[in-house]
Structure 1
């Protein structure tokens, strides 16, 4: 599905934005009131896989969808945020095949009904959109729904789901400190808020022991069957294959299609989560999922399009919306692994918003990036000025210059190349908003 240029749903959302400005006001009272007026659609969903975390939650959503669809099941998927079109937030399941992004007429109708039920009362746009999720997913039949948390967990609007099939908490690191706390254990406590008494919990790889302890302690206190990465399930590469192991045995499967070693743990969490939710996965199904999984804007290779044509000939261009220090580390590791396989000069094109910690992100690339070009993010009042962002990159030990557009950055990279240099490797990232702008400008929006 391609969202129409003149999307009725987008026009309705623009109108709602004027009434209910962007921003975070964490509470479940407003969404609960609205859902009651709508007949409590969140109580009429298929089994739900509910996913929280600072990093990796989008990837585990993608892997879970791939696994379930490979098993022939119909899968609804809610993600947040979208990259180019609002419609990306809602994938409607289809029996025996891949789901498709919600059609504009269906989306617009659900928006109108939700807005009418809200009757102009105070509410955030994310809460409206979450109510739309529940309306759509309750009215269209499917075998399972995957619901990604928007922010935090405890007070996220998706957390009205009373009893998911499984709760998944992916890696915790510092992000959204103004809303979730300035220590990983405080953030972990907020993410752990999606756990429900007696419901299975899958805990993905945790870099910080303090975060892991909070998650495990919460699961134990609530009497949740708990599956912890590195303890109850694991994955590692061996001879170019992925070796996955849990209490059901060992699987020797292809490496995931999504690049980066961090995806091994994400794939493992998805396999364990789908099984914990009560769905059977054969080795053949897992193999099919590993080679078919897709996730736009997360270490996505751009091979054609308008921006690709603008880059130096033969460039290897990667797009990733990761935006915090933890994401910087795993992306930098992936770039270093690519360098081991094929040496190319690495250039960064980075834009970020002001809720992030840019120096920590940039520090991960200190020894591997030749140059950083910082760019603005369109239509964002929260974007960090490229000059200030370049100062942050310099503080992290990188050579950096501010430019006005991604296209200008690509032109500048061409000028930086020395005679005899191989074609460059270019990472464009630092924000999902920037990733969305790039996909739109390149003419390759998510499908």
Structure 2
């Protein structure tokens, strides 16, 4: 028995059999072609076409943030500069595999050094494009499939590799790289499976078929656990199952205090997967849709946001309170230059950032919410509000958005507007917001820190 330590990325506990995804062998970037350059260029063109076809198929099954990421990677696969750079290297003597690997690595390095965070973040898309083209050249499949229950162990998992995974078979995830706030963590949290990332040496020590215990709360992975460890974990899992069964009887009952006061029980979500989970668990609506999570790879377009909000609302068929982007502080967004501050958590963040950049940040999101609200029960909530003047200015922009959409002939309705009370200033002066807001939500996570 051996215990590996990593970063807790998604809570939960699992016992299962390891399914190990090992990275493809590295490409020899010095390899010289032995055929005519036209043959190598034709191989490269065919591989790019196949990679694009596979990516299109994956995009058709994805949704929300994952679909946006795949779209960005699809664009990079079809990038003419990437192709031309590889063609030039093939002409100078390299194989197609070596050429595309070299060009992708150089292109990614250049992007990573740019001061624009959005463009710098595209470096990962370039690397993934190069990896997928090489896989086609080598006849290797990068798609991950499970035909039995298993714990997935990998160096890393790209967004495209998570699309086809059956959540009913995936027991847990262990990776050598990653962070507690990365794409994989968000996916694992959404489908409710434990995940431990940043586990150094996992692939060197875990073989296919090994029994593992993954503890997503402690950030540990136990290899070949002994009977004592298995018994302890099985006891914990059985207790958790009993608690779940005991609580299930309350799932569809109306929320009620002991003295008979009706309380609606809403969920907090950050993705479509979490919306489905909320419905499954009997939530009566969503009280907080954390939209900054859909901006992890840059601000999505108005159209992309509208599609996300409509998709989530259609799954819920219940009230959906959409919090506008809470960007800043510990929530940077690629492509947005946010200057350093002495106290960023109470400074240029949330509603203040949105109001300072209405055309770039606030209006596209408001347009998207209003368009989705034409056929669904959506409401707007403003984050990190400190004074009534911020709500007044936000209302002005919302009124402008309504008029703009009406001029375009679109169906629009005025939706309820509320604030997240999460700053001391708003908490001690809530009465001053009377007449400006339709509801308020207490943001205890931030408020209790101050």
TM-score, normalisation: structure 2: 0.30
Which protein shows a greater Rg? 2
TM-score, with normalisation over the residues of structure 1? Answer: 0.30
Give 1 or 2: higher helix fraction: 2
